[in-house]
Amino acid sequence: MARPPQIRIELAGSEPAVRQIAAQIRAAILEGSLAPGAKLPAVRRLALDLGVHFNTVAEAYRQLAAEGLLAVSHGKAAAVAGRKIAPATPEEAGSLLQRLRQLAGEMRARGIPARTIRKEIERFIEE
């Protein structure tokens, strides 16, 4: 089973582990690193690898399933759902933009130059 690419979490960070896990898996799916049908590691295996409680990983998987990104069934490996994500509503777009602003602000506060942030965002958009 493929492990989501480069999934890393900061246990001492301000963002909860469940959010970090879900965000990284979501990004891998949306970027195409995890294709439809790709199996994710078992909840307990990923939890052990990341050093978190299995309920943390289970909650991240449930959130992604609720978003339509994962197919989750009891006793079966979670897999990337086959359908595309729906376009964002205006409210969802506003929420996403707010998250981007917060992330960019945190990056600037941590000393990452604005041009580096801008360059990376442009690179992701063009991919």
Among candidate residues 76, 59, 64, 53, the one with its CA nearest the CA of residue 25: 64
- The pLDDT assigned to 76 comes to 86
- The pLDDT assigned to 18 comes to 96
pTM: 0.66
**Which pLDDT tens digit goes with each residue over 62-85?**
999 999 999 998 888 899 998 666
Cα 113–Cα 117–Cα 123 angle in degrees, nearest 5:
140
Ranges of residues in the chain whose predicted pLDDT is under 50: none
Instruction: Tell me how many helices (H) and strands (E) the chain has.
Output: 5, 2
